[in-house]
Amino acid sequence: MADNNLIKELREISGAGIMDIKDALAEGGDDKDKALEILRKKGVAKMSKKADRVAKEGIIESYIHGAGRIGVLVEVNCETDFVARTDDFKALARELALHIAASNPLYVSQEDVPAEVIEKEREIYKEQAAGSGKSDEVIDRMIDGKLVKFYEEVCLLDQPYVKDPEKKISQLIADSTAKMGEKVQVSRFARFVLGN
């Protein structure tokens, strides 16, 4: 028996009829992607605009620096359209776009850093500490400390806010959450440098 949420989701994505969706799920072993493929093969999926619709509110903000040499796009989310339209929320999105242009983060949060990148960093720190004559325990603590520094360099949420370096970006966002009474978060960003 297919899950109702799955049926609903497939209906939103494909625009196909409920019976077609149930058949496709039965045939595809309740796998969403397989069901979608079956629906497309049958020609009943309308790969229309519906796939664009989702529940998250907020705004997408852009910032162009240096006459087009750096460009930033950032998505800042909140829970309601009401908050998304406020000047405070718009100002926050603007600040985040400016900050990203200036501070060049590579990831939104620590969770977004690929495991192999962290492994590579640990390895480098280990090599650096190798000749120090310190105990393994001390070296481990040194490595952890260097990783914290690494996150502060490459993760947006851990970076010091360019206009107030005492404050991390995560704090800037937490302040907004408190002020607006809604969860506020950055879901993604893009940063282009000309010719890179």
> Which amino acid appears at position 187 of this protein?
S
> Is 37 among the residues that bind a copy of itself (CB under 8 A)?
yes
Provide, rounded to whole angstroms, the least separation between the CB of residue 23 and a copy of itself: 15
> Which amino acid appears at position 168 of this protein?
K
Contact 15, 41 (CB under 8 A): no
Query: What string marks each residue from 142 to 181 as x (binds a copy of itself by CB under 8 A) or -?
Result: ----------------------------------------
Rounded distance between C-alpha atoms, residue 1 and residue 165, angstroms: 54
Contact 117, 150 (CB under 8 A): no
Rounded distance between C-alpha atoms, residue 182 and residue 174, angstroms: 10
Size of the site for a copy of itself (CB under 8 A): 40
> Is 58 among the residues that bind a copy of itself (CB under 8 A)?
yes
Contact 96, 78 (CB under 8 A): no
> Is 80 among the residues that bind a copy of itself (CB under 8 A)?
no
Among 32, 40, 46, 146, indicate the residue that binds a copy of itself (CB under 8 A).
Answer: 40
Helices marked H in 32-135 — which ranges?
Answer: 32-42, 81-84, 87-103, 115-130
Provide, rounded to whole angstroms, the least separation between the CB of residue 194 and a copy of itself: 6
Provide, rounded to whole angstroms, the least separation between the CB of residue 124 and a copy of itself: 6
Rounded distance between C-alpha atoms, residue 158 and residue 102, angstroms: 15
Among 16, 84, 156, 169, indicate the residue that binds a copy of itself (CB under 8 A).
Answer: 84
Among 10, 16, 24, 70, indicate the residue that binds a copy of itself (CB under 8 A).
Answer: 70
The beta strand positions in the chain, using DSSP E, are 57-65, 70-78, 160-161, 164-168, 185-193
Residues lying near a copy of itself in the complex (CB under 8 A) are found at 37, 40-41, 43, 52-64, 67-73, 75, 77, 84-85, 90, 93, 124, 127-128, 188, 190, 192-196
